[in-house]
A = this chain, B = another copy of it.
Amino acid sequence: MKSAILTIGDELLGGYTLDSNGAWIGRKLMDIGIRTIWKTSVGDIKGEIVEAMALAASKADIVICTGGLGPTRDDITMDAYCEFTGATLEMDEGYLELLRERFSRRGVDMPESNLNQGLVPDRGTIIPNSKGSARGLWCTVDGTWLCILPGVPTEMKSMMEETVLPELEQMSPNELIITNIRTTGVMESQLHDLLESAMEESAVNIAFLPGFSGVDLRLTAGDESAVAELASNIYDLAGKYIYAEDWVTLEQSVGESLREKGLMLALAESCTGGLLGDRITNVPGSSEYFAGSVICYSDKAKINLVGVKSETLKKYGAVSEETAAEMAAGVRKVFDADIGVSITGIAGPGGGTDEKPVGLTCFGLDDGEKPFTRSVQFYRDRRFNKELSAQTALNSVRLRITGRI
């Protein structure tokens, strides 16, 4: 089965909003074996929406539309749905009453503009919305399964997970076994070479999906044991690069390991400016294993806050493995943590020299036993250098916990 995704809203075309809904849906569909072949964004213009629905329906078995179901005048997806499917709108007095009650419980009268959220087409099945007031709809038009969902990400996601994805899985039981294996710290071409022999022996389809901070491997086959066998071979050949499966992030995976082992982590971030702390604390419950961080952006802060010796800075410079080692050891003590991790580098575009060019980044890890340091040269812009540095440091925690460094 093939799908098309239609995202609706002027803000998607004017460049004010990234189409993250479209990406999320594409990936969720892929997880249940449905490939997206077409994705379109159109503005809040009824004719354009109807035309895009028709085009998508002509190309795909499944069409998912999001956006334009709110209460304001420019929310016209429901009208477009009616025109496309030949449905007419009726007032659902029961739902309207429910909406009114919801508003009055918050102590406000329901605005006039919300009246239209009580309207329901006489064709299609309602998709309930447990997080908001705009309901969705699905129906079948000339053999294509089509649904409309609101554009608010939390609402769209819960409606996809509670109703749409189960419905699609029932319609077309996914006979494919799909396993996603996530790697980091290895280039796509290196990984390809590493796995070549295993891939040759296997009939399983394998896709390399390079992201900016790692490569995901998607294994697909009809035969469960074949997938399991290839996966097992991949773990044997490239296990040191694998941090998780499916949608698990590196910060979730490392966090889980720290929690299991009862370890507290502390950071000393220089060039990343807080990015690694931000990533770690995106995981709910991270306070159980994350003690905190010192962002020591200047030499003075490195000396005063995490105890780097001024001689070390003078002799080796702020961007050196020697300084990184002292930062990691120092921050571990300051937070009374089990593991201290440090990052110090030249993010660019300025600040580089012949000897220490932009992108040079030094890392330290100290767990009180075997101090570890490393230098890496990145070649990207400031933001990318920061992202790659945070990823490298976080990965070093995984490597230490698993005894690989």
| In the bound complex, CA of A301 to CA of B267 (Å) | 13
* Inter-chain contact B38/A40, CB cutoff 8 Å: yes
Minimum C-beta distance from A308 to chain B (A): 13
Pick from B24, B154, B272, B348: contact of A15, CB below 8 A: B24
Within 8 A of B (CB), among A266-281: 267, 269, 271-278, 280-281
Which of chain B's residues have a CB closer than 8 A to the CB of A293? Answer: 273-274, 293-295
* Inter-chain contact B275/A292, CB cutoff 8 Å: no
| In the bound complex, CA of A273 to CA of B16 (Å) | 26
Is A28 on the interface with B (CB-CB < 8 A)? yes
Number of interface residues of A (CB under 8 A): 75
Within 8 A of B (CB), among A1-50: 11-20, 22-28, 30, 35-43, 45, 48
Is A401 on the interface with B (CB-CB < 8 A)? no
Which of chain B's residues have a CB closer than 8 A to the CB of A285? Answer: 350
User: A43's closest neighbor in chain B, by CB?
Assistant: B37
Is A349 on the interface with B (CB-CB < 8 A)? yes
Is A398 on the interface with B (CB-CB < 8 A)? no
* Inter-chain contact B277/A305, CB cutoff 8 Å: no
Is A382 on the interface with B (CB-CB < 8 A)? yes
Is A284 on the interface with B (CB-CB < 8 A)? yes
| In the bound complex, CA of A12 to CA of B24 (Å) | 10
Which of chain B's residues have a CB closer than 8 A to the CB of A209? Answer: 11, 14, 16
* Inter-chain contact B278/A273, CB cutoff 8 Å: yes
Pick from B273, B281, B347: contact of A273, CB below 8 A: B281
* Inter-chain contact A348/B284, CB cutoff 8 Å: yes
User: A287's closest neighbor in chain B, by CB?
Assistant: B297
B-contact 0/1 string along A324-367, CB 8 Å cutoff: 00000000001110000000000111100000000000000000
Which of chain B's residues have a CB closer than 8 A to the CB of A349? Answer: 284
CB contact under 8 A between A280 and B273, given known A37-B42, A39-B41, A305-B334? yes
CB contact under 8 A between A281 and B274, given known A13-B37, A17-B23? yes
Which of chain B's residues have a CB closer than 8 A to the CB of A284? Answer: 348-350, 382
Is A290 on the interface with B (CB-CB < 8 A)? yes
* Inter-chain contact B291/A292, CB cutoff 8 Å: no
| In the bound complex, CA of A41 to CA of B386 (Å) | 28
Which of chain B's residues have a CB closer than 8 A to the CB of A386? Answer: 278, 281-282
* Inter-chain contact B292/A305, CB cutoff 8 Å: yes
Minimum C-beta distance from A58 to chain B (A): 11
B-contact 0/1 string along A294-335, CB 8 Å cutoff: 111110110011000000000000000000000000000011
Would you list the 5 A-B pairs with minimal beta carbon distance, nearest first? A273-B281, A274-B274, A15-B27, A274-B277, A15-B26
Q: 21 interchain pairs (CB within 8 A)?
A: A11-B209, A12-B23, A14-B30, A15-B23, A16-B209, A18-B19, A19-B22, A22-B41, A38-B42, A39-B40, A39-B42, A269-B277, A273-B274, A273-B282, A274-B276, A274-B277, A274-B293, A278-B278, A291-B301, A292-B296, A292-B305
Given contacts A12-B26, A273-B280, 12 further A-B contacts (CB under 8 A): A12-B39, A13-B38, A15-B27, A16-B211, A18-B18, A19-B19, A19-B39, A38-B48, A281-B297, A287-B298, A292-B296, A305-B334
| Residues of A in contact with B (beta carbons under 8 Å apart) | 11-20, 22-28, 30, 35-43, 45, 48, 55, 154, 209, 211, 216, 267, 269, 271-278, 280-282, 284-287, 290-298, 300-301, 304-305, 334-336, 347-350, 381-383, 386
